[in-house]
Structure 1
């Protein structure tokens, strides 16, 4: 390609810089920039200049120890803010702390333990429909959307779940068109793109209003009920708009990332039958044919290692960004206000100086890392880090572990021959064109 030289190194083109490579193959671009330039690699996207930061200690500075020197208000952030409004994902400083305090109780341990039975029930029903060839990307998206709809939103209405999925997908496509555009019009200008955003937002508003109405007279243990009961420090309730913002954020972040993690995990299991057999053996030994429970999680370490190894190689949240606020030095690099920093778990978690055989899928490595406590901070950070670490991490692990254990308990999976699966780096790291596998029923232990 024009934007990579014959040796594979990325080159900055006049006017565009690395923008064309970032649009066509961002994973390769960020990886090659790190290989060519090291811990703080220069990147230019059109007029925007910045750096790809991949060394764990420097990632820690940006996300934790020197976080006050940066803002999250990148182009991605601004696009998401247009859709989500003020929420836990799109605010900073004191406003963000208020949102975090309000949303955090939805993921407390006692709530998670109550969610486990629902996750198992929903997954059992989904797996009952598996036969022959299954498109796993779609299956995982449907399943995780159903789980989020019932556990966090408290609705079992098929129509609402389907509308939620379609609307969130429309929102994601809109954000991606904004990010890929060289020119972005003001949000108030009635362009076709802005009018499309208004239509999607109206659909999201209707869904949120319906969910709130369902829970206004009958509270449950779901996030809608929790948000309706939440109060600011002065005792006032959240406005319907604020509740809508948090619900849409939970929806958007709560099913796409887990669906991506599970789909990539199933692909790796299809490519590594020995790992799949060991996973099945652990599940058979621990569960003995019965459905899993919340208390079984600690007894399924290999299941967790399989997930961690998959997210090491294929982190759903594959990149995040910051904008420099004050002049300072990061490593040996002087930074100026307005410069952009890109941090990519995908790059750091595949660095040859940090991982033995970094491109090999090897869940057993986690047994050694766990026993020694040898994992350096920000060597593995698929859920981010610092104060902005994903609030739903524990829920995501609960959901993914239970789903993966139940799949391994009930089915042996084989890849359909002749397909070529490639990474699809959207807002989350998907698979293109999808993932077709044959699901062969296993006899339960």
Structure 2
């Protein structure tokens, strides 16, 4: 079924989907290969698919017009769904998991921190953090775990740009957030049928991680209360001020802070991991990145204005997020009956918009599996697909609040890394996606670091 077909269809017709006899196969994919579950069914049944697994039915939406309907035009009818509901155990009612008036108040509190002018003023901080990263990488003799390094970088940037705090001492943050994602996805795929008191390894690790995140959030709030910033524009200061004005509890501040720590680092770290993998697979892209960095930056650190000049680097980031959108699934729950693409969707249904499949839709992308930064050539804006065919940061009212900071950080990292280094995957490393709350590289990404001669390489290019 595609948009606009068969207008005479009865409004209460259910979408097509796999038969009941496919339940075992669907369950297996739900546990082991969620990307294939979405991609296979979208390819077989079309742009609206009903996937019934046991007592649950999930409605897969895979067309720009239909994504716009769910995420923007009728967004009030769709609250947060699968995965995010389960993550609420650790994240509480933070910006990522809340809905309605609670979400609106939270968004108003934090929004000023992400204003373009303020983010542009953070460019020097981001560039300095990236410079420290490049120096650390250059000092390595053996393989380095790139995802670990990217997590450390993004947490450091988040602390200094958004919280006016130093997060370098909280080395457990990355591991704790990984345990939260593992547990949230486990509960989602098991339909929360495994009691939380069962002492499974994942459950035990989750409890430890949740306690660790709460401790860190409480410490950050206490530190700011003890040493307040006059007229502070950072998130911590705004949360404390807002809490005082609205009578919000310390628990609510903790929820917001934990959510920001997760969302603020995980998506950018995942994008950078995929970028280094794809650049290693396509060395000609690495050479173009190197040449552009030499031409635009020379020996200096990047500035915010350079984002307009690092056009190929920006295109690489955009193409990486097309193939491997960090938020690969946008889950919603319908609050009232709706009609999507001519099909009836009952109230209470799980509705999922999947950027991973939407970004590969053959009607909107030529050779969609191919890595081609040229798709995002700034000189050819007419070549871009419809707006809602590309939604790496979501869409509608819940469009990612931190997109500008994330893109600036990713562009600075790729430009500075390409200028000074070559990163190559360790021989034999098989790179596979792992679809959790974010789309990360399964099992890490060990790479070897090789220093470049800037002048020789630039002249050769």
User: TM-score, normalised on structure 2?
Assistant: 0.87
Query: 1:312-333 CA deviation, whole Å, 9 max, x = no partner?
Result: 0011111121222323321121
Q: Matched residues in 1 for 2:280 and 2:358: separation?
A: 25
Aligned CA RMSD, in angstroms, stands at: 2.3
CA contact (8 A) 1:107 1:391 kept: yes
CA contact (8 A) 1:313 1:359 kept: yes
SS at the partner of 2:172? helix
Report what 1:222 is aligned to: 234
CA contact (8 A) 1:17 1:46 kept: no
User: TM-score, normalised on structure 1?
Assistant: 0.90
Query: 1:108-151 CA deviation, whole Å, 9 max, x = no partner?
Result: 12321232222222221222122243222222122212222333
Q: 41-50 or 27-36, which moves further after superposition? A: 41-50
Equivalent residues, number: 431
Map 1:42-441; keep pairs closer than 5 Å: 42-72=50-80, 74-130=81-137, 131-132=140-141, 133-156=143-166, 158-160=168-170, 162-184=171-193, 190-192=197-199, 198-216=207-225, 217-219=227-229, 221-230=233-242, 235-236=245-246, 238-367=248-377, 370-372=380-382, 374-441=384-451
Cα deviation for residue 405 of structure 1 reads 1.3
SS at the partner of 2:300? coil
SS at the partner of 2:433? strand
Cα deviation for residue 186 of structure 1 reads 6.8
Cα deviation for residue 196 of structure 1 reads 6.0
| Change beyond 3 A, Cα 1:437–1:157 | closer
CA contact (8 A) 1:52 1:341 kept: yes
SS at the partner of 2:387? coil
CA contact (8 A) 1:409 1:442 kept: yes
Cα deviation for residue 221 of structure 1 reads 4.8
Cα deviation for residue 259 of structure 1 reads 0.7
| Change beyond 3 A, Cα 1:414–1:75 | closer
Unaligned runs of 5+ in 2: 1-16, 456-461
Q: Matched residues in 1 for 2:282 and 2:85: separation?
A: 40
Query: 1:182-227 CA deviation, whole Å, 9 max, x = no partner?
Result: 543677xx54477765544332222122111222223155321232
SS at the partner of 1:159? coil
CA contact (8 A) 2:93 2:252 kept: yes
| Change beyond 3 A, Cα 1:358–1:185 | closer
Unaligned runs of 5+ in 1: 1-8
SS at the partner of 1:142? helix
Q: 341-350 or 169-178, which moves further after superposition? A: 169-178
Q: Matched residues in 1 for 2:48 and 2:84: separation?
A: 22
SS at the partner of 1:316? coil
Report what 1:5 is aligned to: none
